[in-house]
Structure 1
Amino acid sequence: MIDMKFVMVGAGAMGLRYGVLLQEAGNDVTFVDTWQQHIDKVRQQGGVYVMRDHKDRHLVKIKLETPETYHGDPDIVVFFVKQMQLNDYLKRCAHFFNDRQYAFTCMNGMGHIEKLQKYFADDKIIGGTALIATVLPGPGEVDFMGKRGAGMMNMCPLNEKPDEMCQRLYNELEKAQMNPTLTKDFTGTLMTKVIFNSVMNSLCTMFEIPMGEFGNFSGAREMARQLIDEAYDICARADIKLVSTREQELASLDHNSRIDMPLHYPSMCQDMFKDRPTEVDYINGYIAKLGRKYHYEAHTHLFVTQEVHLAEYHRQNEAKKRQMKESTQASVKSA
């Protein structure tokens, strides 16, 4: 018996992890993506290769469509795409949205909820955050980091009034061993994870290091404290009730970096490695923008935002230099 029907908009690392585990928990899951190389590989293989901590590589059959070819009627539309991709996905998927469906997302950063509100009613939007490490090594494969049941997540409906569908989603996520917690404050839930990412994702990306290397650095706590204090001061001005205290946030950063996921490269860092734009403007940049709204200049977050963009710029220049060198060498050989 099928419990619920899901469509995962975005078949990247997190979309695959949530979708595969929900499928294994007895739900009907279809994935929607636009990365053609990924789509071709999955269709050629008959599914996606799933690993856990680089081991036990096995094929899992999945249904994968493009936005234009999917015409189903799911109970819940789950969004796991990059912030800068969401508008395009929403436009291309709008033909299968209806008033009955719920939208659920644990996307990084802020800015996505306002976009979802253009297509879904407030009482049918459920937001969340995930402390779950997953890697997409290449098209057609995904690596779940950590033992089964590792990681945790928070979720909260936008109207902060959990209904029957929200409870059903919670139950399915629990069956899938995603360790959900139903929180009571929507904005506070999302912002707490944004602050976590503003430290871990951005600083690891800047230096292209795994979380453990940052966590074991003698100055890590001081660096984290500076970013956390700015963000918490801003949230206090904005009357945003975060789900953890400053000390709890510091402890979570320390535990996740040194103990739970020391070898993991955050998703922003993975984007950097693949020369994709990062989401820093939706994380540190968002905190700085919120600060200015409440007459607070978040100097550290502004600096970190530009530092990440400088790292992106450097990689782009290095790539151009390599291309020019390879082109010159090819010309010399052909002469």
Structure 2
Amino acid sequence: MLTDERWRELLRVRASDPGAVKRAYDERLRRKRLLSEKGTLFLVAADHPARGALGVGADPMAMADRRSLLERLLVALQNPAVDGLLGTPDVVEELLLLGALDDKVVIGSMNRGGLAGADWEIDDRFTGYDAQSIVDFGLDGGKMLLRLVDSDPGTIPTLESCARAVSELAAHKVIAMVEPLPYRRDETGKLILQKDAVSLARAVTVASGLGVTSAYTWLKLPAPEDNAVLDASTLPMVVLGGVPSNDPAADLASWGRTLRHDAVRGLVVGRTLLYPPDGDVGTAVEAAAKVLEAAK
């Protein structure tokens, strides 16, 4: 889908016509509604590289190849069941220049400063889109990552920044997609995601209360084993794909169980669909779409 000719043209425009990016934002055909006709939302996510998270499985450089990433995104976005994209400005703008985001939902990724593996990882500064740019560029919402580590003071400025972003987006009647994830550090200092119901439910309640209003807040959560996590808020929720496993069938089954909950509206999945074990992006996306359709 990304021929040599299209690739070279993208590189030419990047080098010689930076104003083309603003024109592409302005000329994008916006979708009139956020949700599909069935009331669901299915997005592919591509904001990992901006946080330095490039690895997939055994390949630490999988997402470093930008042409490969864009090709995979083009395949995913051509499936009519995929409502749109969650991405950082660079990826969004490349897909805009390739004409791939017309009539698609576009959610801008906001805080990417908590670089993967960095000492300051939990102090996740806002280094991508801000609320005003999301409005000015005509995007459909902003996404923020909120990792909660009780032993790490970096959680505090991230909490405050996320609360401010939720309020600013709501003032413009634009959705804020908050991804609250509870972590702890092991004896080596490595961050470990806490998947138990108590930790996840606590994260949900903290995220639900951010900002001056929750009217436009959505939550992005891993598929929990206990519905008590999903029962902790009335806010609309989407299931995140998480770290790809070697068992796509198990991932699909886990998503399917969570999607049946009334508060859960859809999927936001990145590496699991873009880098499946067999390399077949189209089939992986179609399988996820069928799971969503069956659940709703």
- How does the TM-score come out when normalised to structure 2? 0.30
> Which structure would you say has the larger RCO, counting Cα contacts within 8 Å and 6 or more residues apart?
2
Task: Give the TM-score normalised by structure 1.
Answer: 0.28
